[in-house]
Chains A and B, each alone.
Chain A
Amino acid sequence: MIGVVVLTLRELMARKIVLGLFVVATVVWGTLALALQIDVVDGTLQGIRLFGQAPEVQVEGNGEPAEQPFGGEDPLRMIVIAAESVVAGAAYWIGILLALFATGGLVASMMDRGQVDLLLSKPLGRSTVLGGRLLGVGIVVALLAFYLMGMVWLVMSLKTGVWNPRFLLAIGVVLAMFAVVYSVVTLVSVSSGSAPLALVVTLGLLFVSLVVALPGLPDKLQEPWRQVVQALHAVLPRFADVGGRTVPSLARGVPVRSWTHLVASLGFGLVAYAAAFAVFRRKDF
């Protein structure tokens, strides 16, 4: 399997878009590190400057906000949470899509004639070949997520002294949802061998999952459409729910009320991966 993983890693590294994503991640945390200047004395916020400009929050000499602008909460903690929420949200809503575009063609390209023959003629099981490919993709996307979100967390924590370890769980959730979305790419790729089709179907499915997750939508519909929407919401990955509830809760460092949306999405992913492996094992090339 290691050979297939190495091949996948090399292939991804050869794609400029992956290097581009690492550059973007560097720019994000680097900008945060350089632009955000926080003066903390004895654990108390003395001043904040972003790109050299002081925000509206004015802090008096004793370190207490003049008019309790954060509702009485620790302003340092609020800043950290705000920054981490923005990064977690961006990593979830934008990062997953970018990672999808960067890696979406890998499963289909592996099945190209002349390439798949070489792989399948080696003493490797078919599940090992597909699993190695997916593991390679997972490693790169995980590195990217840990690099971006981990560095942001580290920069913010070191600059402010406020450590929000629950934010790190958001990395796991982002990766888990990427894996769920990628299960659709994998299933369509092994079934059709077409990378464009895999991406179109996956994006279409994501769009539908966002629509059926709109609050109050079932109440506005007549039967049987209400049941259709509810069934789709139950079955499809709950991209909107996880992105709108689970990830923000983790970024804010508050307990997640329910993991149901994530677990249901993971269930969808498992079924899709099982189907993809079954199709790949039976496919003739």
Chain B
Amino acid sequence: MKLLLGIVHPTEGGATIFDRPIGDSQARRSVGFLPEDHRFPDFLTGRQTLRLYARMAGLAADERDARAVELLARVRLTEAADRKVRTYSKGMMQRLGLAQAMMNRPRLLVLDEPADGVDPVGRREIRDVLVELRDEGATLFLNSHLLSEIERVCTRVAILKEGRLVRHGTVEELTTEERVWRLRATPVPESAATELGESLRPGDGDEPAGLGRYRLLATDRAELNRHLDVLRAAGVEIESVEPLRTSLEDFFVDVVSR
């Protein structure tokens, strides 16, 4: 993240942002950044902070005020706009940081732990803003250890272990367990269970009376359907079949602990 923003220099290799090398300061003209543990000058008000950093981001003078008003409303800080930031809570500081990062209407928004240390309500407010931005077409580059937040906001995820990329893909790709399906159905007779052998396993949790939870293992869709045929032939009524997903957190722990 810091490499892309020119805060840290690469020891080798290179990268570009919007076709400009990362060492070129103009590459950051369409980028917004919210650093982890950011510190705004505590003698400024929220409004002054946004105007000042917008000036540094190259926003025209006549645009700064209007944009500050707009973003303060968007992150729900209008009432605190003229208070010194030293009086802000952690959640308010994070939202102000988010507004600061959005001042120059960035096409790429780089966020380092945006919800770190924020209470659940503040976290939800931040997430709502991020989802809105994502839906408006901005690219969010989000770094967080709060994986449930990432799961809800991001479309693609990369996992780094000791500075090296170990897995990446869409959230769906990473959280879908290969060849395992969750089955809700009436109890499976002994004969069908014997026939399916290791491909049928008991599932977790309770179901309403008359239904059971199972896990079906199949190498592909054709085999899955053959298993289902066996069950239906044994008189089993199927309520639902869906690919088994794990949480991103479980997946992350699994990957980094290998």
Give the interface of A toward B (CB within 8 A).
Answer: 2-4, 6-7, 10-11, 14, 112-126, 128, 282, 284-285
Residues of B bordering A, CB below 8 Å: 2, 5-9, 25-29, 31, 33, 35-41, 43-44, 52-53, 55-58, 100, 110
Cα A119 to Cα B6 with chains together (Å): 11
Which of B5, B9, B43 touches A282 (beta carbons < 8 Å)? B9
Contact present for A120 and B41 (CB under 8 Å): no
Chain B residues lying within 8 Å of A2, measured Cβ to Cβ, are 55
CA distance A268 to B41 in the complex (A): 33
Chain A residues with Cβ below 8 Å from B39 are 112-115, 118
When chains A and B are docked, how far (Å) is the Cα of A122 from the Cα of B104? 10
**What does DSSP make chain B's interface, helix, strand, loop or mixed?**
loop
Q: With A122-B28, A123-B25, A125-B25 in contact, is A117–B9 under 8 Å at CB? A: no
CB A113 to nearest CB in B, in angstroms, measures 7
Q: Report the separation of the CA atoms of residues A11 and B39 in the bound assembly, to the nearest whole angstrom.
A: 13
Once the chains bind, are B8 and A284 in contact (CB under 8 Å)? yes
- Rounded to whole angstroms, the CA-CA distance of A55 and B43 in the bound complex is 49
* Residues of chain A with a CB closer than 8 A to B43's CB: 10-11, 14
State the CA gap A38–B33 with chains docked (Å): 63
Q: How far is the CB of B84 from chain A (nearest CB, A)?
A: 10
Q: Which of A4, A118, A125 has the most CB of B within 10 A?
A: A118
Contacts of A282 in B (CB 8 A): 9
Residue of B nearest to A125 (CB): B25
Most buried by A among B25, B38, B44, B57: B25
Q: Which B residues are in CB contact (< 8 Å) with A120?
A: 5-7
Which of A10, A123, A284 is the one whose CB lies under 8 Å from B57? Answer: A123
Instruction: Establish whether residues B33 and A118, one from each chain, have CB atoms under 8 Å apart when the complex forms.
Output: yes
Q: Which of A4, A113, A121, A128 contacts B5 (CB 8 A)?
A: A121
State which of A3, A112, A113, A284 has its C-beta within 8 Å of the C-beta of B56: A3
Flag if B57 contacts A117 (CB, 8 Å): no
Q: Are the CB atoms of A118 and B9 closer together than 8 Å?
A: no
Q: Which residues of A contact B9 (CB under 8 A)?
A: 282, 284
In the complex, the answer to whether B25 meets A284 with C-beta atoms within 8 Å is no
With both beta carbons as reference points, the residue of chain B lying nearest to A281 in the complex is identified as B9
Q: What residues on B are CB-neighbors of A124 within 8 Å?
A: 25, 56
Residues A113 and B37 in contact, CB atoms below 8 Å apart: yes
- Cα–Cα distance between A113 and B36 once the two chains are bound (Å): 9
Q: Are A123 and B38 in contact (CB under 8 A)?
A: no
Give complex CA distance A124, B58 in Å: 9
A7 CA / B57 CA spacing, docked (Å): 13
User: Which residues does chain A contribute within 8 Å of B27, judged by CB atoms?
Assistant: 123
- Does B7 contact A117, Cβ atoms closer than 8 Å? yes
Contact A122 B57 (CB under 8 A): yes
Counting from the closest, the 6 A-B pairs by CB-CB distance are A3-B56, A121-B33, A117-B35, A14-B43, A114-B39, A3-B55
Instruction: Tell whether A121 pairs with B26 under 8 Å between CB atoms, given A4-B56, A10-B43, A11-B43.
Output: no
B5 to chain A, nearest CB (A): 5
Note all chain A residues with C-beta closer than 8 A to B35.
114, 117-118, 121
Q: In the bound complex, how far is the Cα of B187 from the Cα of A64, in angstroms?
A: 126
Q: How far is the CB of A4 from chain B (nearest CB, A)?
A: 7
Q: Are A117 and B2 in contact (CB under 8 A)?
A: yes
- Complex alpha-carbon distance, A78 and B100, angstroms: 59
Interface CB pairs A-B, < 8 A, 14: A4-B56, A6-B55, A7-B52, A114-B37, A117-B33, A117-B35, A120-B5, A120-B7, A121-B6, A121-B28, A122-B25, A122-B28, A123-B57, A284-B8
Interchain nearest-CB distance for A87 vs B (Å): 32
- A116 CB contacts on chain B under 8 angstroms: 7
Pick the most buried of A3, A14, A120, A121: most chain B CB atoms within 10 A of its CB: A121
> How far, in angstroms, from A112 to B25 measured CA to CA in the complex?
20
Given contacts A3-B52, A112-B39, A123-B57, contact A10 B44 (CB under 8 A): yes
In the bound complex, do residue B53 and residue A118 qualify as a contact, i.e. CB atoms below 8 Å apart? yes
- A285 partner, pick from B8, B28, B52, B55, beta carbons under 8 A: B8
Distance in Å: Cβ of B115 to nearest Cβ of chain A:
16
Query: Measured between C-beta atoms, what is the minimum distance from B57 to chain A in Å?
Result: 5
Q: Is the CB of A284 within 8 A of B7?
A: yes
CB of B55 within 8 A of CB of A123, answer no
Query: Which of B27, B28, B31, B39 has the most C-beta atoms of chain A within 10 angstroms of its own C-beta?
Result: B39
Which residues of A sit under 8 angstroms from B53, Cβ to Cβ?
3, 118, 122
Closest to A119 in B: B56
Distance (whole angstroms) from the CB of A3 to the closest CB of chain B: 4
Find chain B residues with CB under 8 A from A123 CB: 25-29, 57-58
- Which A-chain residue is minimally distant from B36 (CB atoms)? A114
Given known contacts A10-B43, A11-B43, A122-B28, is B56 in contact with A285 (CB within 8 Å)? no
Q: In the docked arrangement, what's the CA distance between A119 and B5, Å?
A: 11
Query: In the docked arrangement, what's the CA distance between A140 and B31, Å?
Result: 32
**Please, which residues of chain A bring their CB within 8 A of the CB of B58?**
122-123
| Residues of chain B with a CB closer than 8 A to A119's CB | 56
For residue A129, give the distance in angstroms from its CB to the closest CB of chain B. Answer: 9
